[in-house]
Amino acid sequence: MDTLSIATSGYRRLLFVAGIGWLFDAMDVGMASFVIAALTAEWHLTATQSGWLGSINSIGMAIGAFLAGISADRIGRKSVLIFTLLLFSIASGLSALANTFAVLAVLRFLIGVGLGGELPVASTLVSESVPAKERGRIVVLLESFWAVGWLLSAVIAYYMIPSIGWQAAMLFGAIPALYAVYLRWSLPESPRLEPVEKRTSVWRNMTSVWSRPYLRSTATLWITWFCVVFSYYGIFLWLPTVMFLKGYPIVKSFEYVLIITLAQLPGYFSAAWLIEKIGRKFVLVTYLIMTAASSLMFGFATSTGMLLASGILLSFFNLGAWGAMYAYTPEQYPNAFRSTGAGMAASVGRIGGIFGPLMVGYLAASKTPFSVIFAIFFTVTLIGALAVLLLGRETRAEELAN
């Protein structure tokens, strides 16, 4: 076997092992959106309580992303990945036993800490382990495992929740995540991680992110992450519930969300191809503009056909933009504080993930039309596109900074 074949085989294995954990993370987040819809009916949750169930997870993700990011630059990517995935798996399994809103909220917070910590560190590890000409494509393909996880969650929810309950669905989704922990033990450490004696302090890494050479990159990332995560979690965590509130039976709502979710995979694959052919900025700006337009269409949809068509476009472009953003983020910083920079950007994004679902909950409770709610998502997503267009720099085919 020649050197190229060995390298390609190694990248595929790294992609698979990292992606399996990503898949089960997505299963949990996807399952949560269906569980919230089911609990709205079963526990008679108010719209505000439903919004808090989505937002408490994002609060955990914000804390997890920040702590894991700074820790990964100090103690290594692999150790942090294993710990965060283990925390996520245990809390996710225990959530199947929750019998009150408060208990479920606490467990959703812990799930968020594990999930939020894993994602930016996993993308950083993969980004550091592949050559420049393959880096963007591989990281976006890593993100595509998220779509597979969402699809599985939609299938599980569609067949299990109406018949045997949401608890069984949560447990079914959590158990395989422990297998991902086992797989992660075999992952190699990042080849770009600094030797222990050369690693700088946590405080220095955090302040370096805002130093003059990286000021523009950090501003771009923080604005974009906030806008993308605000829109994504505000829309997709509420998607089954929005369908239900629009008058569709809960089983039919799950069916429609499953159809919409199918569009995520081609969204990722198209972004993976374009990101190396044309560039990161093109994909991010174009896909975010189309996400904004699709969200506006969804909010104003008055028929099932319009709802499905706009939902499919929204799913396609939003998740393609996510993939590009994960590829773009680690490329902005040098080895010493790359994970810190990625984790801090993701943490700011998770703050958007707190406010997005909460906003929908409060506005829905006050009988605000969905056309107005989705017009807000349109505006916020456009701000993210403008940030990349005006402030972002192109990083296609660039070697990572040492």
- As a dihedral over the C-alpha atoms of residue 166, residue 167, residue 173, residue 175, rounded to 10 degrees, the angle is -170
Q: How far is residue 393's CA from residue 388's CA, in Å, rounded to a whole number?
A: 8
Q: What percent of the chain has pLDDT over 90?
A: 31
Q: Which whole number is the average pLDDT over 353-371?
A: 85
Task: Find the domain containing 217 and state its range.
Answer: 11-187+210-391
Q: Which whole number is the average pLDDT over 80-98?
A: 85
pLDDT for residue 225? 96
Compute CA distances 243 → 303, 311, 317, whole Å.
Answer: 12, 11, 20
Q: How far is residue 382's CA from residue 228's CA, in Å, rounded to a whole number?
A: 9
pLDDT value at 172 more than 90: no
Domain assignment of residue 169, yes or no: yes
Residue with tokens 């393959």: 134
Domain assignment of residue 1, yes or no: no
Domain assignment of residue 195, yes or no: no
Q: How far is residue 181's CA from residue 287's CA, in Å, rounded to a whole number?
A: 33
Domain assignment of residue 323, yes or no: yes
- Whether the CB-CB separation of 326 and 396 falls below 8 Å is answered with no
Q: Which whole number is the average pLDDT over 301-311?
A: 85
Q: How far is residue 258's CA from residue 247's CA, in Å, rounded to a whole number?
A: 17
Domain assignment of residue 200, yes or no: no
List, in order, residues 6 or more apart from 85 with CB less than 8 Å away. Answer: 21, 25, 114, 118, 177, 180, 181, 184
- Whether the CB-CB separation of 313 and 339 falls below 8 Å is answered with no
DSSP 192: T
Q: Which whole number is the average pLDDT over 322-328?
A: 91
pLDDT for residue 249? 67
Which ranges of 76-194 does DSSP label H, i.e. alpha helix? Answer: 77-95, 101-129, 132-164, 166-184
Q: Which whole number is the average pLDDT over 88-103?
A: 86
Domain assignment of residue 397, yes or no: no
Q: How far is residue 35's CA from residue 87's CA, in Å, rounded to a whole number?
A: 20
pLDDT for residue 79? 86
pLDDT value at 5 more than 50: no
Number of domains observed in the structure of the chain: 1
pLDDT value at 346 more than 50: yes
pLDDT value at 3 more than 50: no
Which ranges of 262-303 does DSSP label H, i.e. alpha helix? Answer: 264-277, 280-300
pLDDT for residue 8? 53
Query: Residue 43 maps to which CATH number?
Result: 1.20.1250.20
pLDDT for residue 252? 66
- Of 97-106, 157-166, 303-312, 378-387, the range with the highest mean pLDDT is 378-387
**Which amino acid is it at 264?**
Q
Domain assignment of residue 174, yes or no: yes
Q: Which whole number is the average pLDDT over 345-355?
A: 90
**Does this model's pTM top 0.85?**
no
Domain assignment of residue 106, yes or no: yes
pLDDT for residue 13? 79
**Is 313 buried (19+), middle (13-18) or exposed (0-12) by CB count in 10 A?**
buried
Mean predicted lDDT score pLDDT of the chain: 84
